[in-house]
Amino acid sequence: MGREVFITRRERFSAAHKLFKEEWSDEKNMEVFGKCANSNWHGHNYVLFVTVKGSVTEDTGFVMDLKLLSDLIKTLVIEHLDHKNINLDTPFMKGIMASTENICMGIWDQLVGPIAAEGATLHSLKLEETENNYVEYYGG
Ligand code: NI
């Protein structure tokens, strides 16, 4: 087993969502979700960090071609989120509360297989919803 190196690609997307449970009253939704329960939606400028680990290929010196990683993230994730309404438009978020935690796990499920198919391992995701709030997921 060679030495393991971690590489990270950052991608950004802007998307609308709301956090709202239909079976709850407006008051209860506002109490639990605050401004994110606004019924007419609101948006965030999300920042996604995708960290992949693996050993370095001798010929290239790469763990994984970052252009290829970027293309996978764009095709499988960003195209389904950027300038979309996450609650309504994003196939892998259908019927799932559009919290940063759930979006992060949804993104994981999109990427883990295709990255493995390229001979690398998805190590972690970090998804920033705001400057002050972010979620990390390690696939557990
Ligand atoms: Ni929000």
Per the structure, the count of domains in the chain is 1
Angle between helices 66-73 and 100-117 (to 10 degrees): 130
pLDDT, one tens digit per residue, over 45-87 is 999 999 999 999 999 999 999 999 999 999 999 999 999 999 9
Q: How far, in Å, CA of 35 to CA of 68, rounded?
A: 37
Catalytic residue, from 11, 17, 36, 44: name it: 36
List CB-based neighbours of ion ligand 1 within 5 Å.
36
pLDDT tens-digit profile of 11-43? 999 999 999 999 999 999 999 999 899 989 999
Q: Which domain holds residue 64?
A: 4-137
This prediction's pTM: 0.95
On the CB side of 50, CA atoms within 13 Å amount to 28
Residue with the bigger pLDDT between 2 and 139: it is: 139
Compute the distance between CA of residue 99 and CA of residue 90 in angstroms, rounded to an integer: 13
Active site residue 104: no
CATH number at residue 83: 3.30.479.10
Element (H, E) at 50: strand 42-55
